[in-house]
Structure 1
Amino acid sequence: MTTYSKIVGTGSYLPPKRVSNQELTAQLAEKGIETSHEWIFSRSGIAARHYAEADVQSSDLAVAAARQALDMARMQPDDIDLVIVATSTPDHFGGFPSTACVVQQKLGIVNGGAAFDVQAVCSGFVYAVSIADSFIKSGAHKNVLVIGTEVFSRILNFEDRTTCVLFGDGAGAVVMTASAEPGILATKLHADGRHKDILCVPGKVNAGVVEGSAYLYMDGQAVFKLAVSVLEKVANETLQMAGMSASEIDWLIPHQANIRIMQSTARKLGLDNERMVVTVDQHGNTSAASIPLALDQAVRDGRVKPGHNVMMEGVGGGFTWGAILARM
């Protein structure tokens, strides 16, 4: 019998501190940095974002989202035999111990299952789901907890209005399990290191000291141009692998970075904007957390229903990109 992987639970968490464009622009004005709600919203579609408090880590957001996903899946933490966390803002400097191991400990998982982090920036959740799909299909693991979690507010330069207004904090999670019915229909991943410098944190560490900048840097125009080019292509590649057409997509859930990129992708795929899940207006860009956050919202408000075909795709620093076609 063929083994497939299927998403059986979703969850999400946003820090309570919500910051509107108006609030953020007022804070920036105190530093002599001029911007406005209209400037931010017209270029990105973002109206608000959430920031974690100083004592809250990526793992804390991840655990809250994971508990929701486990509840929906009707599983206990110890049912999980693999934890994969996609994050660019891990709890610990240097990325170890992995945030996945911290999440495993905080959830009380003591069954000896595996745990590791994935670093593909905003494509991280897509990469992590693809990895989980392969592990489940191979029989190596049965129940996998996949989480995208970020505290991007920690790496923002609030003197750079071109980037600090775009990002927020949050976490989203899914539980994937072995199934006799197809769930993940196809995945496709790509990367091109030639574009590594257009979206990065360029600082390096030497003898315990950061050399260069520890803040996020983005060449917005270059990222925009590359994103609109690759998202349509990878979606069509994934559809071809599944033997399906774009007309069979019930919902498009792209990485929530910029509404213009998202609408361009939907248009190229021949999909109405009404078939696209949008949370960028209220969440901002939450990097690896953005797709699972949007998926959970659409599942819980009843838009995404069992049997629906959902295309999830993202682009991120590296440069990385990829897509997942899932039957819910």
Structure 2
Amino acid sequence: MSRAAVVAGIGSCLPPRAVSNAELSARLDTTDEWIRTRTGIARRWHSDAGMATSDLAVGAGANALKSANESIVDTVIVATTTPDRPCPGTAPLVASKLGMTGAAAFDVGAVCTGFLYGLATGAGLIATGSADRVLVIGAETFSSILDPADRSTSVIFGDGAGAVVLRAGEASEDGAIGHCDLGSDGAGQDLITVRAGGSAQRLSGVAPEPGDAYFAMAGKEVFWRAVQRMAESCRGVLNVTGTRIDEIDWLVGHQANQRILDRLADDLGVPRDRCVTNLAEVGNTAAASIPLALDHAHVAGTLRAGDRVLLTAFGGGLTWGSTVLTWPALKRG
């Protein structure tokens, strides 16, 4: 049988402070009704002072390891847009805090598609025999890069982390990671971006504008590109794996915006009630959104062993990706 990476455990972590729409409405020109109608979000979670992305990653990683009945892995991959520092990467610190000094550890930067890129990378390491166990974490503290006065982003994004443990197994097993459809278009880099802080800005000889240090997104353009690219990617992975759309039990899209998720489901022909979503309760958590949604659905009993699950995401870069797997029997936290 062919060697493959198999999902062996899952976990998540949210920071302690819930931020309601009412709280945001008190300081922004918005209302609870406007936010719910435009995004589908009721609340999001923000980190307290002194809490970093690595702290959320450690929490999610520890819970995933517990779910898998594991204490160590060979490799730790952290997908994040909000690393603790520009240098070094966050993953080595996360590995160290989890008691795995010496493990290979590195970050993946693909914004909201980061978890799927990390999943594909971890699966590749296992398939080639370079690792036997890999911890893949999506973790974000997006509140640290949001302009608190920007209604268009502050109401959408939140903090959180989700993680899975991959182990070496066989391609025929439930939970095996097979083909991953991944893509990018760098010409769209300005649609989802933080303009200041990188080498392009620092070496431009031009002082940044005050808002350039904050996250910015061209919402309308991103909406249509997200639906198009995720739909194309989903069809691509279904075609390669020989899976019909009516064989999919659950669609788990990046939790960006409820209108995007609804439009994607309609485009693919998936009933909206077969879409896993926790967007209302956590907001858009970027690289953390898919593992968070999976863990919450797993804990709630929505996902059951044997279910066919289609994962898809779209993010800055521009990047996108999809994969399909059969949900395994996992321990619930």
Q: TM-score range by the shorter chain?
A: over 0.9
Quick check: 1:203–1:210 contact (8 Å CA) kept in 2? no
Q: Aligned-pair distance for 1:185? A: 2.8
Letter in 2 for 1:19: V
Residues of 1 paired with 2:295 and 2:249: CA distance?
15
Residue 256 in 1 paired to residue 255 in 2?
yes
What displacement does 1:97 show?
A: 1.8
Question: In structure 1, what is the equivalent of residue 330 of structure 2?
Answer: none
Give TM-score scaled by structure 2 length.
0.93
What does residue range 27-38 of structure 1 map to in structure 2 within 5 Å? 28=27, 33-38=28-33
The whole-number CA distance in structure 2 between the counterparts of 1:280 and 1:319 is 22
Q: Give the distance between the partners of 2:155 and 2:2, measured in 1 at CA.
A: 47
| Residues 159-215 of structure 1 deviation map (CA, whole Å, 9 limit, x = unaligned) | 1111111100000000011112341132110000111101100113539x9834110
Q: Partners of 2:267 and 2:115 in 1: how far apart?
A: 23
Q: Residue 134 of structure 2 corresponds to which residue in structure 1?
A: 144
Cα distance, 1:178–1:268 mapped onto 2, change above 3 Å: same
2:159 to 158, 169, 173: 169
The residue type equivalent to 2:221 in the other structure is A
Does structure 2 conserve the Cα–Cα contact (< 8 Å) formed by 1:59 and 1:102? Answer: yes
Whole-Å Cα distance in 1 between the matches of residues 147 and 36 of structure 2? Answer: 19
Aligned to 1:320: 319
User: The residue matched to 2:255 in structure 1 has which SS?
Assistant: coil
In the TM superposition, residue 233 of structure 1 has moved relative to its aligned partner by 0.7
Candidates 100, 113, 118, aligned match of 1:128: 118
CA contact (8 A) 2:160 2:288 kept: yes
Equivalences for residues 108-119 of structure 1 within 5 A: 108-110=99-101, 112-119=102-109
Q: Deviations over 1:119-175 (max 9, x none)?
A: 000000011001111111111111000000000000001111111111000000000
Unpaired runs of 5+ residues, structure 1, are: none
Q: CA offsets per residue over residues 48-95 of structure 1, 9 Å max, x none?
A: 00000020000100111111111110101x2x0010000000011x2x
Read off the aligned partner of 1:104 and give its amino acid letter.
A
Kindly state the Cα deviation for residue 113 of structure 1 after the two structures are TM-superposed: 2.3
**In the alignment, structure 1 residue 294 sits paired with structure 2 residue 285:** no
Matched, 1:53 2:48: yes
| Contact persistence 1:311–1:323 (CA under 8 A) | yes
Matched with 2:307 is 308
Amino-acid identity (%) = 44
Aligned residue type for 1:233: E
Letter in 1 for 2:162: G
Structure 2 unaligned runs (5+)? 328-333
Q: Secondary structure at the match of 1:196?
A: helix
Q: Given that residues 95 and 103 in structure 2 are in contact (C-alpha distance below 8 angstroms), is that contact kept between their aligned partners in structure 1?
A: no
**SS across alignment from 1:197:** helix
Task: Kindly provide the amino acid, as one letter, of the partner of residue 82 in structure 1.
Answer: T
How far apart, CA to CA, are the structure 2 residues paired with 1:42 and 1:138?
Answer: 46
- Counterparts of 1:246 and 1:268, CA distance in 2: 11
What is the Cα-based RMSD across aligned positions, in Å? 1.4
> Per-residue deviation at 1:265?
1.0
Aligned-partner Cα distance in 2 for 1:249–1:6: 19
CA distance in 2, matches of 1:211, 1:268: 40
Write the distance in 2 (CA, Å) between the matches of 1:156 and 1:252. 29
Aligned partner of residue 188 in structure 1, secondary structure: strand
Q: Is 116-125 or 127-136 further displaced after alignment?
A: 127-136
Structure 1 equivalent of residue 17 of structure 2: 17
**Corresponding residue number in structure 2 for 1:99:** 90
CA distance in 1 between counterparts of 2:249 and 2:123 reads 21
Letter in 2 for 1:72: S
User: Equivalent residue for 2:143?
Assistant: 153
* Letter paired with 2:307: H
Distance 1:269 1:122 in 2: 20
Residue type of the alignment partner of 2:308: N
Return the letter of the residue paired with 1:211: P
Would you say how many aligned residue pairs link Structure 1 and Structure 2?
317
Aligned to 1:211: 208
Structure 1 equivalent of residue 195 of structure 2: 202
TM-score, normalised via structure 1 length: 0.94
